[in-house]
A = this chain, B = another copy of it.
Amino acid sequence: MVSAITPPASAVRSKRYELLTLGDELLLGLTANGHLTYVGAQLGRRGVLLQRNVTITDEAEAIVEQFRDSWARADVIITTGGLGPTCDDRTREAIAAVLGQKLVFDPEIVKAIEARFARLGRKMTDNNLKQAYRFERGEVLPNAHGTAPGLWVEQNGKVLIMLPGPPNELQPMFAEQVVPRLAQRGLLLDREAYVQIRSAGIGESALEVKLQPIFDRYGDALSIAFCAHQGQVDVRVSSPSAALSFAQLDSIAAECAASLGEDFLCFGADSMAKVAADLLRAQELTLAVAETATGGMLASAFTDICGASKFFAGGCVCYSNESKMQLLDVPECLLKQHGAVSAENAVAMAVGAAERLGADYGLAITGFAGPCGGSNENPVGTIYIALHSPHGVWSKKLHYPGPRATVNRRAINAALDWLRRELVRASRGAGMSPVTGSQSGG
């Protein structure tokens, strides 16, 4: 093991990382492949672009074939899953065959598994002993949150890291044991190899046209990647050849941000809610939310932020008219006259949330996200959002096509972006600006 060093960027980038995620449940779409998201982000944050992620079935043959292929090509291979106690856990045996290594029974692992069952007050069944086999030449990564330990092998100048499938076991193991080991071997940097500029309210193609004059000045030295989310587009600038320094990439990104004006959201990957939250905190303002179809997702966009209690007063999920009246003081006559999916109700919800919870801002979403519901006047996909601020209250009518999840996601993004823009203007001392786009008075 070499001592900790700060490797040159190009040395780290020339290393090829691959991730093998095992499990039929991933291929059947029964479980999302969160391992790619987690491991990819952990590596990306440390200057490594994972070169490939392959998800294959639990069959021993498929594992052998794929691992042989990846092991020949990659410098660092990470596998996830297939280390557990049951009959479909075959990764250890399959990979031992390719490595030409023996599996040995390790009584230390048995002790750890027994201790875990004892702590949980459960009886250890014999199939758990399967997890006590490790490679003859390799290390064991203890599992603080489950029974199957991870395995670490260095062989032929390559590194193999085998991790258990459950995310709550894999993630602490990766952060606490794998990252320090990789860093010690000079296989990680201390920052991203790219800068990401996040925008809102501008389409992907228009964004490229707007930023192209900046990019053109750097030619092939600069690599550009775009990614469009719903109502949000990310641009990543990097220099795979290392012809541009990180300082130069930072300065290019700053120039892009300046040219975007209010459409610039942030550098990096902060959510719209996080950006709005930072603006609220900086101005010592508080927010309350109220929602119907989005059912708690608007609130959780804020409560996902650590320390949310500093600015987030609370939220109401008002499915029934009764709950709108009880929790938010929406007048019954208003609901009878205009209905729950109306500008009037959105405004009453935003005001009600802010007033009941003593918050400076109130943000409300109501609508028909589908597939059921909808009316002639307000078909499925119709959303009303309302924003109550110290300067007044406004609403907007929006319409999004697509399935329920898409409609809800876009409605939330639209509401968050509206709040964010108002907070940007408020921070500059400007008052509430006239509402633009499709709108309705309240």
Segment at the interface with B among A100-108, A154-162, A166-174, A177-185: A166-174
A316 touches B319 (CB 8 A): no
Contact of A206 among B26, B122, B196, B236 (CB under 8 A): B122
Query: How many copies altogether?
Result: 2
A166 CA to B293 CA, complexed, in Å: 22
Chain A, range 402-438, C-beta contacts under 8 Å to B? 402-404, 406, 410
A377 in the interface (beta carbon within 8 A): no
Question: Which one of A255-263, A306-314, A386-394 is at the B interface?
Answer: A306-314
**Which residues of chain B come closer than 8 Å to A293, judged between CB atoms?**
303
Pairwise interchain contact B236-A24, C-beta atoms closer than 8 A: yes
Q: Is the CB of B401 within 8 A of A145?
A: yes
State A304–B299 Cα separation when bound (angstroms). Answer: 14
Minimum Cβ distance to chain B for residue A13 (Å):
12
Nearest CB in chain B: distance from A124 CB, A:
8
CA distance A34 to B320 in the complex (A): 32
Instruction: Identify which of A4-12, A47-55, A243-251 touches chain B.
Output: A47-55
- Which residue on chain B has the smallest CB distance to residue A44? B28
Chain A 102-131 interface 0/1 with B at a Cβ cutoff of 8 Å (1 = within): 000000000000000000001111011000
Asked if A371 is at the interface of the complex by the 8 Å CB criterion, the answer is yes
* Interface status of A62 (Cβ within 8 A of chain B): yes
Q: Would you call A378 an interface residue if the criterion is a C-beta within 8 Å of the partner chain's C-beta atoms?
A: no
Complex contact B57–A29 (CB within 8 A): no
Partner of A51, one of B56, B128, B294: B56
Stretch among A79-87, A133-141, A331-339 lining the B interface: A79-87
What's the least CB distance linking A21 to chain B, in Å? 8
Contact B314 A319 (CB under 8 A): yes
Task: Say yes or no: is A356 at the interface (Cβ < 8 Å to chain B).
Answer: yes
Which one of B23, B317, B327 lies within 8 Å of A296 (CB-CB)? B317
**Number of A interface residues in the complex (CB < 8 A):** 112
Q: From known contacts A85-B208, A87-B208, A296-B300, infer whether A227 and B30 are also in contact, taking CB-CB under 8 Å.
A: yes
B residues less than 8 Å from A296 (CB atoms): 295-300, 303, 315, 317
Tell yes or no: A302 within 8 A of B by CB.
Answer: yes
When distances are taken between beta carbons in the complex, the residues of chain B under 8 Å from A36 are 26-27, 29, 32-33, 55
Is A31 part of the contact surface with B, judged by Cβ < 8 Å?
Answer: yes
Q: Find out whether the CB atom of B38 lies under 8 angstroms from the CB atom of A229.
A: no
Chain B residues with CB under 8 A of A226: 84, 86, 88
B327 lies within 8 A of A319 (CB): no
CB–CB A30/B204 < 8 A: no
Asked if A40 CB lies within 8 Å of chain B CBs, one says yes
Is A37 an interface position by the 8 A CB rule?
yes
Q: Is A41 a contact of B28 with CB atoms below 8 Å? A: yes
Q: How far is the CB of A18 from chain B (nearest CB, A)?
A: 10
User: Which residues on B sit within 8 Å (CB–CB) of A344?
Assistant: none
| Residue in A25, A27, A229, A236 with the greatest tally of chain B CB atoms within 10 Å | A27
Can you name 12 A-B residue pairings with CB atoms under 8 Å?
Answer: A24-B49, A24-B236, A27-B36, A27-B50, A28-B236, A29-B40, A30-B234, A53-B53, A168-B402, A296-B299, A296-B303, A306-B372
Q: Which 7 A-B pairs have the closest CB atoms?
A: A295-B303, A29-B41, A296-B296, A29-B40, A296-B299, A314-B323, A296-B300
A-B contacts besides A29-B42, A314-B316, 5 pairs, CB < 8 Å: A27-B49, A30-B41, A127-B209, A296-B298, A308-B319
